[in-house]
Amino acid sequence: MRRRTRGLAIAAGFALVLPLAACATDSGSTVLTWYTNPDAGGQDEIAQRCTEAADGAYRIETSVLPRDAASQREQLARRLAAQDSSIDLMSLDPPFIPELAEPGFLAPIPDDVADEVTQDVVQGAIDGSTWKDRLVAIPFWANTQLLWYRKSVAKEAGLDPEKEPVTWEQVIDAARDQDKYLGVQGAKAESLTVWINALVESAGGHVLQNPEAPADELELGLESDAGKAAAEIIGTIGKDGLGGPGLPTADENASMSLFQGDRGSFMVNWPFVWSASNAAVEEGTLDKAVVDDIGWAIYPQVDEGTDARPPYGGISLGVGAYSSHVEESFEAARCIVKPENQAYYFATNGNPPASTKAYEDPEVRKAFPMADVIRESLEKAAPRPQTPYYNEVSIGLQETWHPPASVDPETTPQDSTDYITAVLRGEALL
């Protein structure tokens, strides 16, 4: 009996030690962990490419974060607050960058790296990666929303969005006159904040007047003509049922389904809809005639003649301040954001590059005939408020501007301002 126990103990000891030994033999090169947002496998492929290019200096392993941006932020913030040294590289959604940069969770970027990774990069991506005048993350890919339209519906309404920018009013009238639905994101989620921010910015205002101020000194800019104009548009689409019955729960995918349906007319959405629609045709779940009928243009204007400020999104790379391999991580980041990798990522995963050079890639131009419109949109795009308290502002907006049918230009901007101010001062729950 005793001998058997000893045998078991030895076996257990081997079982514990063997995997470690395997690590030891393999650890000739440094292993970097890159926390990525879920995609179609593009970041994994880039990690492999950069591992090969590093020639043994380091090996990049990817670890996938949760699906939505808010959950990605939660996980990274929690682990960084606990000084997790396993976070070498991370894919960050721009609005959450200041929150991680402010307490020093992101390793400072050396000047030479900062100079290199901002060469030939769209301004929106540089702004989105900057906090208090310092580049704190490395622009990787940059996203923006376009106006997608059914050519047949636009023609019937006498509009040509490709040549002449359209206004929200025209889009709303066209949908109403032809008894069609508009594809907008009315769900109580981050996508609603994206919509509100784009409307307020397009109308010449800002959700936050002084985003760099401390929490109790932040001033909102919703009680303005811009805030009212935004509320007017959202409220009208909600009250008149123009977003369809699914509007209060519509996210980007739901908007896309609505737009592809019989009553689709116009939609504001990210470029992924193009690759998704084409994939659906290949799978046989969507008629090719629908894709042939799809047109694209710059985001709609709020005031006729004033350029729209489309939503800005995308991903920047951060290096963990508590990583044991900061230097190698910056090397890896420089490799990841190379224009050819960004072009590959756009062509295969549908995520637009932050590098202007990548737009010249023939593969990109083949896969995305609207590449030039995306680049133009990125130059005009406005980021969401950059503050460490972005989460409070965003959820506060969602609480007060949802459902869209309840939005009233006379009361919503003020209610929203009062509520968010109280939350930021620690006087109200969210």
Partner 1 sequence: MSTTSSAAGVAQQQPASAGRGKGGRTKVARSERARDEARLGWLLAGPAFVVMLAVTVYPILQAIYDSLFSYRLTAPDDKAFNAGHNYVVVLSDPLFWQALGVTTFITVVTVVIELVLGFALALVMHRAVKSLRGVLRTAILVPYGIITVVSAFAWFYAFDINSGFVNHWFAWLPGIDENLNWFAHQGTSLFVIIASEVWKTTPFISLLLLAGLAQVPTELEEAAQVDGATWWQRLRRVLIPNMKAAIMVAVLFRALDAFRIFDNVFIMTNGANNTDVLSLLAYRTSIGRLEIGLGSAISVLLFLCVIGICFAAIKLFKVDLAGARGES
Site string for partner 1, 360-389 (x = CB under 8 A): ----------------------------x-
List, in sequence order, the alpha helices (H) in 27-110: 42-54, 69-81, 97-101
Q: Which of 9, 21, 53, 428 binds partner 1 (CB under 8 A)?
A: 428
Q: What are phi and psi of 293, to 5 degrees?
A: -90, -5
SS3 62: strand
Q: Which of 70, 126, 213, 291 binds partner 1 (CB under 8 A)?
A: 70
Q: How far is the CB of 114 from partner 1 (least distance, A)?
A: 23
- Is there binding between residue 427 and partner 1 (CB under 8 A)? yes
- Is there binding between residue 403 and partner 1 (CB under 8 A)? yes
Q: Identify which of residues 76 and 381 has a Cβ nearer to partner 1 in the complex.
A: 76
- Cis status of the peptide bond prior to 403, with omega within 30 of 0: yes
List, in sequence order, the alpha helices (H) in 110-251: 111-117, 123-128, 151-156, 168-177, 190-202, 225-239
Query: Are 367 and 346 contacting, i.e. CB atoms less than 8 angstroms apart?
Result: yes
Distance CA 59, CA 125 (A): 27
- Is there binding between residue 100 and partner 1 (CB under 8 A)? yes
The H or E element spanning position 147 is strand 146-150
Three-state SS letters, 6-36: HHHHHHHHHHHHHHHHHHHHHCCCEEEEEEE
Question: β-strands 181-183, 264-269: how paired?
Answer: parallel
Q: Which of 99, 190, 201, 328 binds partner 1 (CB under 8 A)?
A: 99
Q: Which residues contact 114 (CB under 8 A, 6 or more apart)?
A: 135
Q: Would you say how long the chain is, in residues?
A: 430
Q: Identify which of residues 153 and 189 has a Cβ nearer to partner 1 in the complex.
A: 189
Write the DSSP string, 305-333.
TSPP--BEEEEEEEEBTT-S-HHHHHHHH
Handedness of CA 62, 65, 69, 72 (dihedral sign): negative
Q: Which of 44, 45, 84, 102 binds partner 1 (CB under 8 A)?
A: 102
Q: Identify which of residues 30 and 391 has a Cβ nearer to partner 1 in the complex.
A: 391
DSSP state of 261: S
- Is there binding between residue 249 and partner 1 (CB under 8 A)? yes
- Is there binding between residue 248 and partner 1 (CB under 8 A)? yes
Site string for partner 1, 20-59 (x = CB under 8 A): ----------------------------------------
Q: How far is the CB of 320 from partner 1 (least distance, A)?
A: 14
Q: Which of 269, 391, 400, 417 binds partner 1 (CB under 8 A)?
A: 391
Q: Identify which of residues 233 and 250 has a Cβ nearer to partner 1 in the complex.
A: 250
- Is there binding between residue 254 and partner 1 (CB under 8 A)? yes
- Is there binding between residue 103 and partner 1 (CB under 8 A)? yes
Q: Which of 7, 56, 245, 369 binds partner 1 (CB under 8 A)?
A: 245
Q: How far is the CB of 105 from partner 1 (least distance, A)?
A: 7
Q: How far is the CB of 309 from partner 1 (least distance, A)?
A: 27
147-155, 194-202, 242-250, 311-319 -> range binding partner 1 (CB under 8 A): 242-250
Query: Are 174 and 159 contacting, i.e. CB atoms less than 8 angstroms apart?
Result: yes
Placement of tokens 């049922």 in the chain = 241
Q: Identify which of residues 77 and 367 has a Cβ nearer to partner 1 in the complex.
A: 77
Distance CA 2, CA 421 (A): 70
Q: Identify which of residues 256 and 371 has a Cβ nearer to partner 1 in the complex.
A: 256
Q: Which residues contact 95 (CB under 8 A, 6 or more apart)?
A: 69, 383, 384, 385, 386, 390, 394
Q: How far is the CB of 205 from partner 1 (least distance, A)?
A: 25
99-107, 113-121, 194-202, 371-379 -> range binding partner 1 (CB under 8 A): 99-107
In the complex, which residues of this chain contact partner 1 (CB under 8 A)? 70, 74, 77-78, 81, 99-100, 102-103, 105, 187-189, 245-249, 254, 257, 388, 391-392, 395, 402-403, 426-430
